[in-house]
Amino acid sequence: MEFGFGSFDTAEFGDFEVDVEDVRISKKKRYDRIWKVGIGGSVCSKPVIDNNIAYFGSLDQNVYAVDLNTRKEVWRLRTNGLILDSSPSLHDGVLFIGTFGNDMHAINASDGTELWKFRAGAEINSRPLVFNDMVFFTSKNGYMYAVSESFGKEMWRFKTGAEMVSAPTQCDGKIIIGSYDGYLYCVSLDGKELWRFRTGAEIENDDHFLIHDGVVYFGSFDNYLYAVDVGTGKEIWRFRTGKYGNCGVPRMYGNVIYYGSRDGIFYAISIDGKELWRFNTGKEIIDKGPLVYKNKIYFGAGDNNVYCLGLDGNELWRFRTNGGVYTSIVEHKGTLYFGSWDCHVYAINPDSGKEIWRFTTSTQTPAPLPPAYECFEMEIKKDTHIEDAISEDKYAGRRHEHASLSSYHVTSEYSTKSEYKQKSDYDVNLVMFEESLESDNIWTSDLKVSTQPDSTWMSKK
């Protein structure tokens, strides 16, 4: 995920008014900001709700269970690492969640007791997948692990070429994952690579991919949203977004794909990859997938707001917190729930956007984080006001798009025609990573079967 407090004015770029064509943005290093976040009460973990209990993690290193009826804490479990984007998965009364302490925890959802934990080789920062009696999850060390659901014993691990912040996603008995090496992988249930698809930069999905009718939709830090055939690994189309990369997961509703990019533009895209409309938050980061509920769209942004839009892209209301909203919005029994960087989980009314109640974590001190956009460099060629290029009626009825570094010419600059070859550009045995991926290593995916699992466990009672 990415965080941004306020606008680019509060980042490293200052307050510029320029034509976007005269601004060159480039990545100077691999994206690594998430690994530098500190401890605090902020909530970035998407709540999971079952039997009126909301489960979520916090950067204060705790896993919480909160009763939505009484609005009181049921239990909390202290882990050995902060919990950032690691949203829990719940299966058969057991909660699975990973931490920056390198552990995957299995927790009894009713009382918060730990059943087992598995020690990975590095930080875990995405939602696990529970499928076929196994728990699949990824780690910063570049591995996807498959461990037994009952005891946390390692069954196998699959290696990629770089760090991973990817929630494994199942489709027809195949596991889809993304890596910071720029590849989307398809892996069999016994850990063998079936295909890989190459993008131009890191792939990050801390929640499960959108897969619809055999097509996986995902973003990359190369500024494209992709549609790829799950069966073949072939690109169907790509859609160009902004200049600061993508890491959220799109959602589909009525054959329309809804997606927010890291420079604060929220898009409605047709199923064949054409832009329908866009909404500008005012250059604030959107890094989580939206919720579409009863013909309304809900998403959080780095300007501390939760936005509600109609299906036509018009803003209906916004709800302001005291910190960036970097969790997806969850609906349960007609109420919306989400976490904020201000150390609270909120419950609000989906029709009015009014607060119903909030829950406070163990500390009201937000977690520290490094400067925004530090992996990007900007070059301004000349000062030009964008207003002359804006057609007043291009997006009539939409929010006015102010000139800024993250604004765009309203005449679409995106091409829906694929620039990629349809022929697969990977070799399942050998890949040379280019300088753009910051790796000179030649490597092959490997399958390691554990004979001595590095896990500690206790049997489920």
pLDDT tens string 261-276: 998 999 999 999 999 9
Q: How far apart are the first and last CA of the chain?
A: 36
What residue numbers bound the domain in which 359 lies? 1-37+250-417
- Asked if the structure places residue 266 within a domain, the reply is yes
Q: Which two tokens stand for residue 301?
A: 């942004």
pLDDT for 124 equals: 98
- Write out the DSSP string of 283-344: S----S--EEETTEEEEE-TTSEEEEEETTS-EEEEEE-SS---S--EEETTEEEEE-TTSE
The answer, yes or no, to whether residue 166 has pLDDT greater than 50, is yes
Q: What does the alpha-carbon distance between residue 408 and residue 404 come to, in Å, rounded to a whole number?
A: 8
Asked whether residue 442 carries a pLDDT value surpassing 60, the answer given is no
CATH value at residue 337: 2.40.128.630
CA dihedral 293→294→297→300, nearest 10 degrees, is -40
Domains held by the chain: number: 1
Residue 253's pLDDT band (boundaries 50, 70, 90)?
very high
CA distances from 45 to 127, 165, 372, 412 (A): 9, 13, 20, 34
Classify residue 338: in a domain, yes or no: yes
Is residue 75 domain-resident?
no
State residue 306 phi and psi, 5-degree precision.
Answer: -105, 130
Do the domain assignments include residue 425?
no
Range 75-94 average pLDDT: 97
**Is 427 a member of any domain?**
no
Tens digit of pLDDT for each residue in 277-332? 999 998 778 989 999 999 999 999 999 999 999 999 999 999 999 999 999 999 99
Q: Note whether 246 and 238 are within 8 A (CB).
A: no
Residue 240 token pair: 């160009």
Q: Answer yes or no: is 78 within a domain.
A: no
Q: What is the reported pLDDT for 277?
A: 98
Confidence of residue 26 (pLDDT cuts 50, 70, 90): confident
For residue range 126-147, list pLDDT tens digits in order.
999 999 999 999 999 999 999 9
Instruction: Look at 177 and 425; give whichever has higher pLDDT.
Output: 177
For residue 63, being part of any structural domain is answered with no
| Residue 308 covered by a domain | yes
By mean pLDDT, which of 4-8, 204-208, 257-261, 396-400 is the weakest? 4-8
